[in-house]
């Protein structure tokens, strides 16, 4: 049973299974949508429909429920001409379908599906299995996001974190502040590197998600067990919004969406009441749109020069009796955390924005180097953690830097005290898009590193990864997706027609 990510347990047994257009499915009413997905896949690949039946003894494929199985887990038993899928929830049934599509081999000539008899028992290592896409530096719209949800969900990743805002663009429609789309979603040039020379060009770049786009994306992702986590990055990386509403800055003098990639020194003023009203209003509209329990507030790489020289920021610090600019940032996050908590939301921020006074309910995303992580350990200990070591899992890096080997060998608990290991919610990879300008570059960078990430997030086991990866690459070929295929060729020799014969749903 060659499945990626690798299941907790799987074995082949003697015997084989085959179905054709006469096959029928029996389904627990809870899992109709997942069974229909399987029927659609079979129809697209083989041209026949699997019919539903109410009589279990007539069925060759059975979806049933067992509340005792773990969340998102499933069992597949293929034996004596019957494939039985058991799960405790919709996510488990969906993941069973994703495994079946890798197990079932197409026999297009005979218009049937065949596989060896076998048994799979599977459930995730981590509940949070994420990937972040930066759509602020370069915008990617609904179609690309749906494709990303497809490839993520096929390998059982379940969180798409959208970096919606940065110095270089604000990419979400907010009804109360129309200038965020009129001004903040457009920039009139970008830093480029051509022929060894770095300069700012004058090619405009624009785009944003409408509320309708988000509703459509959330529904599409939800059907595939993917949670969309929105991020409004603050108080740094905020220049696009400030360009639209200059009162939000300490100086009031920022006039354009940033073209250079480095982080700006202009940040959200922490002393002005307008800042808090603005962000809370934006968060209110975000909470209406995104059902996720998480809202990411960024918090990284905040140069505090402007706060240091701002009368309002200084007065705020005096009122609060705090003496460090870091604690001023912590105060700001706390104001938004309290606002979001009233709406049932949990805040995530990156670890360099966490201080010892940050509320313990705030999730810390560990993304800076291990050395730094150790140094800041006192501040992140005792709180929920998401592991994202950027040197390993930032897929904007070249494949020679963030290597396949590095992703596969990721040790999620490295540098984390034993007592804190239960606090690790999971793993998240990322792609920052300063140098990723189009869909081809995007998927070339992501695939197949995403498959390696999924393997780490789903399972502790590692075996024959590159052999199992061949079927994924065959799927990417079929779907017309750009990917970097040289790792499989290096690992198992040139991908031959053998892989093609193993084409799956």
Q: Please report how close the Cβ of residue 308 comes to Zn ion at its closest, in angstroms.
A: 9
* Contact present, 406 and 390 (Cβ < 8 Å): no
**160 touches Zn ion by CB under 5 A:** no
**271 touches Zn ion by CB under 5 A:** yes
Q: Which stretch binds Zn ion (CB under 5 A): 13-21, 270-278, 394-402, 491-499?
A: 270-278
User: 303 or 312: whose CB is closer to Zn ion?
Assistant: 312
* Contact present, 238 and 170 (Cβ < 8 Å): no
User: 135 or 310: whose CB is closer to Zn ion?
Assistant: 310
Q: Please report how close the Cβ of residue 335 comes to Zn ion at its closest, in angstroms.
A: 14
Tokens of 323: 């003496």
Q: Which stretch binds Zn ion (CB under 5 A): 87-95, 234-242, 312-320, 410-418?
A: 312-320
Q: Which stretch binds Zn ion (CB under 5 A): 50-58, 227-235, 278-286, 313-321?
A: 313-321
Tokens of 246: 């200059």
Q: Please report how close the Cβ of residue 309 comes to Zn ion at its closest, in angstroms.
A: 8
Spatial separation of the C-alpha atoms in residues 457 and 126, rounded to whole Å: 6
**310 touches Zn ion by CB under 5 A:** yes
Q: Which stretch binds Zn ion (CB under 5 A): 190-198, 233-241, 271-279, 293-301?
A: 271-279
Question: Residue 160 is inside which H or E element, if any?
Answer: strand 159-163
Alpha-carbon separation of residue 353 from 158, 305, 430 (angstroms) = 25, 16, 18
Q: Please report how close the Cβ of residue 236 comes to Zn ion at its closest, in angstroms.
A: 13
The only residue of 135, 269, 279, 450 in contact with Zn ion, by rule CB under 5 A: 269
User: 311 or 498: whose CB is closer to Zn ion?
Assistant: 311
- Pick from 267, 350, 362: which is nearest to 313 by CA? 267
The only residue of 93, 313, 380, 447 in contact with Zn ion, by rule CB under 5 A: 313
x/- track of binding to Zn ion for residues 232-251 (CB under 5 A): ------------------x-
**317 touches Zn ion by CB under 5 A:** no
Q: Please report how close the Cβ of residue 337 comes to Zn ion at its closest, in angstroms.
A: 20
User: 274 or 414: whose CB is closer to Zn ion?
Assistant: 274
Nearest-Å Rg of the Cα atoms of the chain is 24
Q: Please report how close the Cβ of residue 129 comes to Zn ion at its closest, in angstroms.
A: 39
Spatial separation of the C-alpha atoms in residues 236 and 240, rounded to whole Å: 11
User: 316 or 350: whose CB is closer to Zn ion?
Assistant: 316
User: 51 or 324: whose CB is closer to Zn ion?
Assistant: 324
Q: Please report how close the Cβ of residue 234 comes to Zn ion at its closest, in angstroms.
A: 13
**425 touches Zn ion by CB under 5 A:** no
Which DSSP string do the residues of 6-49 spell out, in sequence order? PPSEEEEEEEEEEE-TT-EEEE-GGGHHHHHHHHHHHHHHHS-P
Alpha helices for 342-464 (secondary structure H): 370-375, 377-380, 390-393, 404-408, 439-446, 449-458
Written in H, E and C, the secondary structure of 274-321 is HHHHHHHHHHHHHHHHCCCCEEEEECCCCCCHHHHCCHHHHHHHHHHC
User: 179 or 312: whose CB is closer to Zn ion?
Assistant: 312
User: 297 or 410: whose CB is closer to Zn ion?
Assistant: 297
Residues in 33-62 at the binding interface with Zn ion, rule: CB under 5 A: none
Chain centre to alpha carbon of residue 238: 22
Written in H, E and C, the secondary structure of 217-261 is HHHHHHCCCCEEEEEEEECCCCHHHHHHCHHHECCCCCCCCCCCC
| Dihedral, CA of residue 268, residue 273, residue 274 and residue 276, to nearest 10 | 60
Q: Please report how close the Cβ of residue 339 comes to Zn ion at its closest, in angstroms.
A: 20
φ, ψ for residue 182 (rounded to 5)?
-65, -40
Residues in 248-267 at the binding interface with Zn ion, rule: CB under 5 A: 250
- Pick from 340, 393, 396, 392: which is nearest to 363 by CA? 340
* Number of residues in contact with Zn ion under rule CB under 5 A: 6
**Residue 423 DSSP code:** G
Q: Please report how close the Cβ of residue 351 comes to Zn ion at its closest, in angstroms.
A: 24
Q: Please report how close the Cβ of residue 251 comes to Zn ion at its closest, in angstroms.
A: 8
Q: Which stretch binds Zn ion (CB under 5 A): 179-187, 285-293, 303-311, 464-472?
A: 303-311
Interface residue list for Zn ion (CB under 5 A): 250, 269, 271, 310, 312-313
């Amino acid at each position: 049973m060659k499945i990626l990510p690798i299941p907790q347990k799987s074995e082949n047994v003697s015997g084989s299974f085959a179905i054709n257009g006469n096959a029928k499915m029996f389904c627990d009413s809870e899992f109709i949508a997942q069974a229909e997905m399987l029927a659609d896949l079979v129809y697209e690949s083989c041209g026949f429909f699997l019919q539903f039946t109410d009589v279990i003894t007539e069925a060759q494929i059975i979806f049933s429920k067992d509340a005792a199985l773990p969340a998102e887990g499933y069992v597949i038993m293929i034996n004596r001409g019957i494939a039985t899928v058991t799960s405790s929830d919709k996510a488990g049934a969906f993941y069973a379908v994703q495994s079946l599509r890798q197990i079932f081999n197409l026999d297009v000539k005979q218009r049937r599906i065949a596989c060896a008899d076998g048994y799979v028992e599977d459930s995730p290592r981590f509940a949070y299995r994420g990937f972040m896409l930066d759509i602020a530096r370069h915008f990617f719209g609904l179609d690309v996001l749906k494709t990303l949800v497809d490839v993520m969900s096929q390998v059982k990743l379940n969180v798409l974190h959208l970096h919606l805002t940065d110095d270089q663009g604000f990419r979400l429609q907010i009804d109360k502040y129309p200038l965020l789309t009129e001004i903040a979603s457009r920039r009139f040039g970008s830093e480029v590197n051509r022929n060894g020379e770095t300069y700012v060009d004058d090619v405009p770049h624009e785009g944003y998600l409408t509320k309708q786009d988000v509703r459509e994306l959330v529904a599409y992702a939800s059907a595939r067990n993917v949670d969309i986590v929105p991020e409004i990055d603050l108080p740094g990386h905020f220049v696009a919004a400030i360009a639209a509403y200059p009162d939000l800055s300490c100086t009031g003098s920022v006039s354009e969406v940033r073209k250079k990639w480095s982080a700006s020194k202009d940040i959200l003023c922490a002393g002005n009441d307008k800042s808090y009203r603005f962000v809370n209003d934006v968060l209110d509209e975000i909470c209406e749109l995104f059902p996720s329990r998480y809202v990411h507030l960024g918090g990284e790489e905040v140069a505090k020069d402007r706060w240091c020289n701002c009368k309002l920021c200084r007065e705020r610090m005096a009122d609060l009796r705090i003496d460090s600019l870091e604690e001023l940032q912590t105060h700001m996050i706390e104001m938004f955390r309290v606002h979001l908590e009233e709406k049932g939301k949990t805040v995530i921020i990156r670890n360099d924005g966490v201080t010892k006074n940050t509320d313990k309910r705030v999730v810390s995303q560990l993304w800076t180097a291990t050395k730094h992580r150790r140094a800041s350990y006192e501040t992140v200990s005792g709180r929920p953690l998401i592991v994202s070591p950027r040197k390993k899992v930032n897929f904007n890096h070249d494949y020679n830097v963030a290597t396949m080997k590095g992703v596969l060998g990721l040790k999620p608990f490295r540098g984390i005290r034993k007592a804190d290991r239960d606090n690790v919610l999971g793993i998240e990879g990322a792609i920052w898009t300063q140098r990723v300008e189009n869909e081809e570059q995007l998927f070339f960078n992501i695939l197949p590193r995403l498959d390696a990430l999924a393997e780490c997030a789903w399972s502790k086991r590692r075996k024959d990864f590159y052999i199992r990866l061949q079927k994924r690459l065959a799927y990417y070929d079929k779907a017309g997706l750009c990917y970097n295929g040289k790792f499989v060729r290096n690992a198992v020799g040139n991908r031959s027609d053998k892989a093609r014969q193993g084409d799956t749903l």
